[in-house]
Structure 1
C-alpha cells in the first residue's frame, strides 16, 4: 500500500468527520427552532391565562413555568447527549482506522531493501519465463505455418491424382461393360469367354487397387484436418501467453513506479526485448505437440528454417507418401510414381 493511497484515505476520513459535525450543527439549529416555537407557545398560553384568570395565584404559574423550563432543559440535554455520543463513536472508529493505516505505512517503511529487491527479482523471473514461452510459441507457429503450406500443396496433388484415378476407373468400368456385352452376344465362343473372364478379373484387381488408393487419400485428408486443428490450438495458446505476458509487464512497471522512484526505475521494455532476442534463437517446442503422419519432426536450428522448405522449392507437385517433388510438366510421371508408391 503506497503513502499516496493512505493520504487519500486520511482525507476521506477528515471529510467524513466534517460532514458529521455539519449534520450535528444542523440538528442543534433544528432543536433551537423547536425550543423557540415552544417558548412562543408558552408566552401565548401565559397571555391567555392572564386574560382568563386575572386572580390566579402567581405562585402556581411560576411553578408551572419552572417545571416547563426543567423539562425543556432535560430534553435539550438528552438530545445533545445522544448526538454527542454518536459523534464520539464515529470519531473513535475513524481514529482506529487512521491508526491502522499508520501502522501499515510504518510497516512498509520498515521493510528492508533486500525484501523489495527479492520481490522485484521474482517478478522479473516470471516475466522472463513468459517471454521464453512466447518465443517458443512463435517458433512453433512458424513451423505449423510451413506444415500447413506443405499439406495444402500435398492436398492439391492428391486432388489431381484423385481426378485422374476417377477418370481411369470410369474408363475401366466402360471397358468392362463393353466386354460383358460382347460376352453375352457371343455365348458360343469359349475362347472369347475365357479372355473376357481374364479381362474382368484384371479389372477387378485394378478396382481393388483404386479403392486402396482412395483409402490412402482419405487417410491423408484426416491427417491434414488433425494438423489444422493442432495449428488452431497452438494459435489460441499463443494468444493466451501474449495476454499473460502483457499483464505481467504491466504489474512490473506499476510496482517499479510505486516503489523505485527516480533513477532507480528499470526499463522493462528494453529488458523484455533482450529476453526475446536471446530466447528467440532457441527452437523450443512444447512436449504435448506431435507431428502427424506425413510430416517431419522439428529440429533446433539457429536460423529457424526447415529442410523441407528448401525441398519444396524444387517443384510444385509432391508425392503424399514419400514427399518426392515433381514439376508442373511431370504430371504423368507423378501419377505413375504415386500409383507405384502407394502400393
Structure 2
C-alpha cells in the first residue's frame, strides 16, 4: 500500500511540476507584454510633452530637451533588450534544463522499476522518485513566488512614482488656479514667466521619467544578478540532493531493510511545505491584484488632471490674447490723449492772439463749428484746472469709457 501511494504521488507530482513551469513561463510572457505596454505609454507621453513644449516656447533650450530625450531613448532600448532578451532566454534555458532533468529522472525510474528486484527496493525507488518530484515542485514554487514577489515590488515602486506624479500635477493645478485669480491685473511679462515655469515643469517631468527609467534598468540588473545567484544556489542544491541520494544508497546496499516510516514523514513534511508555498503564492496574487487596481485608479486620476491642465491652459491663452489686445488699445488711446494734451498750449496761444484781434474776427471764429468745439473743450480744461481737481490715474476700463 505504501509503495502504491508513493507511486501515485510521484505520477501526480510530475504534471504538477510541469504545470508550474508552464505557469511561470506564461507569467514571464505577461510581464514582458506589460513592460512593453508601459514603454509604449511612455513613448506617447514623451511625444505629447514634446509637442506641448514646442507649442509653448518654440525652440527654448533645445539642447537640454534633446539630450534628455536621447538619454531616455537609450535607457528604454537597454531596458527592452534586457527584458526581452535576457529574461526570456534565461526562462527558456531553465525550462529546457528542467525538462531534460525530468526526462532523465523518468528514464532512471523506469530502469529501476523494470529491474526484477524485491518489493522493498521498488518501494525505495518509488519513494526516491516522489521525493525528487516534490523537490522539483518545491523549486518551481519557489521560483514562482520569487517572480511574484519581484513583480509586486516593481508594481509598488511604479505606484509610488505614479502617486508622486499625481501630487506634482495636483500642486501645479493648484498653483495655476491661484495665479489665474490675479491674471487680469498682471502685465504680459508675468505671462511669459508663467510660460517659462511650464517649460521648466515639463523638463522636470522628463527628468523624473529619466530617473524612473534608470531605476527600472537597475531593477532589471538586480533581477539578472538574482537569477544568476539562484542558478548557483539551485546547482548547489541539486548537488546536495545527489550527495544525499548517494549517502542513502550506500546504507541501503549495506543493509537491505530500510525504514519506510521516515520516508513517509519526509513526504508529508514536503507536502505541508508545498501547501504553505501555494498559500503564499495565492496571497501574493491577491496583493498583486490590489496593487494593479490601485495603479489603474492612479492612472485614471493622472489622465483627468492632464485634461484639466489642458483646459486651463487654453483658457489662460485666450485671456492672455484678450489682455494683449486691450493693452494695445489702451496704448493707442493714451497716445491720442497725450496728443490732445500737447495741443492745449497751442490753443491757449491762439486764444491770446484772438483776444488782441478785432471783435468781428473773434465772433467769426466762435461761429465756426471747429472753433466752437475747440473753445468748449478748452473751457472745460481751463475750468478743471481752475477748480483744482486732482488728476487721478484711472483704471484701463474706466479710461476707455470716459474718453470721447
TM-score by length of 1: 0.31
| Larger Rg computed on CA atoms | 1
Structure ranking higher on relative contact order (CA contacts 8 Å, 6+ apart): 2
Relative to its length, the structure with more helix (as a share) is 2
TM-score by length of 2: 0.27
